[in-house]
Structure 1
Amino acid sequence: MKKWIIRIILILLALLAAVLAYLLLAPVPINPVAWQATPFTGYSPPHARNEKLAALKTIAIGDETGPEHIAMGPDGHLYAAVTSGAILRMQPDGSQREVWVNTGGRVLGFMFDAAGNMIAADAFRGLLSIAPDRQITVLADKVGDSPILYADAVVVAKSGKMYFTDASQRFGARESGGTFHASVLDILEHSSTGRVLEYDPASKQTRVVAEGMCFANGLVLSEDEQQLIVAETGEYRIWKISIQASQLNLKRKPDKKLASILLRDLPGYPDNLMRGRDGRIWLGLAKPRGAAIDSMAEKPWLRSITLRLPRALWPVPPAYGHVLAFNEGGKILVDLQDPSGQYPETTGVTETADRLYIQSLHAHGIGWLPNHLVRK
């Protein structure tokens, strides 16, 4: 064999060895944990594939993107938190839009308290109170000595206490390149460090209600305000947790009087939860389940390898519009889908008497449907 052919073969082998060494040994930001994923059976009742979400109309929001959370304010205006850190305020039809405030972070959830203050979960800054005069106060950015790295969703009880999620104690939204990137890292690692927190404005103290969740996300209060209904994004399920719980570890088979699974094996990644009308609780599925991720559940080493690939090759499922409503008993009441994913990352639904406003992590507008289309 000619020397130049041998030289080319040796070079190719060296390159191959270098690539293999990189894929096996290059440092990655996650320390993956093995877990068991229930096989996904596909879109079957009560989640039968449909196109009921495909007829979305859109409200323009200018150059802003990502209306992640939307709510009606006590002043009758529609408020929307967007990627730039701004909170937009507008009429319910989208007219008279303005930047009401910019927190300098990224608000992912908010609710108004009895005094008209916006209580906001800011993924970069923690739990905030924004007064009607737009003054911003940080209520909580740590629990004891433990920093709140990824405040995600919040509800305010009639008692005045505030319950909110800290999605991850491993990957802060600011430190990990933004909310979406941090969520991908947390779910791939699956170390389950998400938690539910309570802030008491009377004592100004924050405590841990429950922990051990793989990306703790949206939450709402039960009608009697004795339980929290919480989305665990990384394991496709919804929990019901007593507000009396304290540092309850959900990975250790908790007492069913304190916590139980309300919905499991959802067909996508559960995100925001919002109370609607007539007992409906709305949930957005930001992404569909991906067979690639489920197949790697018990192969931590393989998840490490995926993060050594170019970001475009990461196992992130494609866009698929999907929102649904259920009741406190876990019965699915409404299921709306758009397989085309034209309106990306449907994170939740805000229901009014006239409309369903569809929230999104990355969309360039606010999607909406006439509410009469889903009334039963």
Structure 2
Amino acid sequence: MSESCDTVTSPQLKRKLTRSCLSTTLLVIAFPVALTAVFYQLEPFKPAHFPARELPRTASAPTVIPRMLVGSEVVVEGKVKGPEDLAYDKRNRLIYTGCEDGWIKRITVNKSVADSVVKNWVNTGGRPLGLALEKTGELIVADADLGLLRVRVKGNKSNVEVLANEYNGLKFNLTDGVDVGEDGTIYFTDATYKYNLKDFYFDFAERKPHGRFMSYNPATKKVALLARNLYFANGVAVAPDQKFVVYCETIL
């Protein structure tokens, strides 16, 4: 009789213990997550409704624009990984481009393009996107992970200086495009303050304006907000006559 009772109750006891362990495990996982959400006020994913009146129209464009390739030559192939932007030093015939492994590559353009030399110049430790040269020849970098940078190289020593990584307490989360005016003012974008580069597609899906367009004054070392509530603010270009600055929004 006793043996029969043990045979019946043992599996029940095991199931109870299993449920108890599972509940404890879930509690251990859920509690820190809930606590983090309370203290850090994590923003939920809340996609905006797409207005019916703004549904995209059918558009077409030629796959190849022949005039764009007139006089073009391939400078480097297979030696740079995920090049995003470039800056060209006309005086020294040098091309700088930022790659997805964190390296800024310096390419020396020789008389024969085939003889161009690619060098690992500086690794920012982040993801360099936009590049622009100052009058001094120093390179300004919009680094998606680190913010607005200035890169100096003397001999074999390099220095990566963080010029700015936040505005009014709100950090840059995806510093993207950059250009420099003749007066030294640096114009740049923070594509989205909510999502980083790894999660940027959520910004597209959410369809809300988290981007900012800003400037940095090297003399005062201050950031100024020029435009906000932008839809994934991306590239920046100062007009040749210095009368205006163009920036683009990726998902309008």
Counterpart of 1:189 in structure 2 is: 206
Shift of the 129–34 alpha-carbon distance from structure 1 to 2, 3 Å rule, reads same
> Which of 146, 150, 154 pairs up with 1:129?
150
- Deviations 1:255-295, CA, capped at 9 Å, x for gaps: xxxxxxxxxxxxxxxxxxxxxxxxxxxxxxxxxxxxxxxxx
Contact 1:219 1:228 in 2 (8 A): yes
Residue 46 (structure 2) pairs with residue 31 (structure 1): yes
Shift of the 33–161 alpha-carbon distance from structure 1 to 2, 3 Å rule, reads same
Residue 71 (structure 2) pairs with residue 71 (structure 1): no
- Deviations 1:168-221, CA, capped at 9 Å, x for gaps: 011022xxx2xxxx3311111111110101111111111110011110000101
Shift of the 120–31 alpha-carbon distance from structure 1 to 2, 3 Å rule, reads same
Residue 160 (structure 2) pairs with residue 144 (structure 1): no
Counterpart of 1:202 in structure 2 is: 219
- Residue identity opposite 2:159 in structure 1: Q
What displacement does 1:42 show?
Answer: 2.0
Question: In structure 1, what is the Cα distance between the partners aligned to 2:172 and 2:225?
Answer: 11
Counterpart of 1:347 in structure 2 is: none
Question: In structure 1, what is the Cα distance between the partners aligned to 2:166 and 2:247?
Answer: 20
What displacement does 1:110 show?
Answer: 0.8
For normalisation by structure 1, the TM-score amounts to 0.49
What displacement does 1:222 show?
Answer: 2.0
Contact 2:97 2:131 in 1 (8 A): no
- Residue identity opposite 2:46 in structure 1: N
Question: In structure 2, what is the Cα distance between the partners aligned to 1:97 and 1:145?
Answer: 39
- Residue identity opposite 2:162 in structure 1: V
1:113-128 to 2 correspondences below 5 Å: 113-128=134-149
RMSD, aligned α-carbons:
2.3
Counterpart of 1:85 in structure 2 is: 102
Structure 2, gaps ≥5 residues long: 1-42
- Residue identity opposite 1:218 in structure 2: G
Contact 1:161 1:198 in 2 (8 A): yes
What displacement does 1:229 show?
Answer: 0.9
What displacement does 1:97 show?
Answer: 1.1
Contact 2:129 2:177 in 1 (8 A): yes
- Residue identity opposite 1:131 in structure 2: R
> Which of 234, 242, 252 pairs up with 1:217?
234
- Deviations 1:310-329, CA, capped at 9 Å, x for gaps: xxxxxxxxxxxxxxxxxxxx
Deviation beyond 6 Å, 4+ runs, structure 1: 53-57
Counterpart of 2:24 in structure 1 is: none
- Deviations 1:141-170, CA, capped at 9 Å, x for gaps: 111211111110111111111110000011
Contact 2:87 2:133 in 1 (8 A): no
What displacement does 1:91 show?
Answer: 2.2
> Which of 173, 184, 193 pairs up with 1:169?
193
Contact 1:167 1:195 in 2 (8 A): yes
Residue 128 (structure 2) pairs with residue 107 (structure 1): yes
Q: Percent identity?
A: 29
Name the larger-Rg structure: 2
Contact 1:199 1:207 in 2 (8 A): yes
1:339-354 to 2 correspondences below 5 Å: none
What displacement does 1:38 show?
Answer: 4.1
- Residue identity opposite 1:209 in structure 2: L
Question: In structure 1, what is the Cα distance between the partners aligned to 2:65 and 2:130?
Answer: 27
What displacement does 1:230 show?
Answer: 1.0
Question: In structure 2, what is the Cα distance between the partners aligned to 1:75 and 1:183?
Answer: 36
Contact 1:116 1:131 in 2 (8 A): no
Question: In structure 1, what is the Cα distance between the partners aligned to 2:200 and 2:139?
Answer: 25
Question: In structure 2, what is the Cα distance between the partners aligned to 1:144 and 1:61?
Answer: 42
Partner SS state of residue 59, structure 2: coil
Shift of the 103–49 alpha-carbon distance from structure 1 to 2, 3 Å rule, reads closer
Structure 1, gaps ≥5 residues long: 1-27, 236-376
- Residue identity opposite 1:72 in structure 2: Y
What displacement does 1:35 show?
Answer: 3.4
Question: In structure 2, what is the Cα distance between the partners aligned to 1:54 and 1:109?
Answer: 23
Instruction: Name the structure, 1 or 2, with higher relative contact order (CA <8 Å, separation 6+).
Output: 1
Residues paired across the two proteins, number: 197
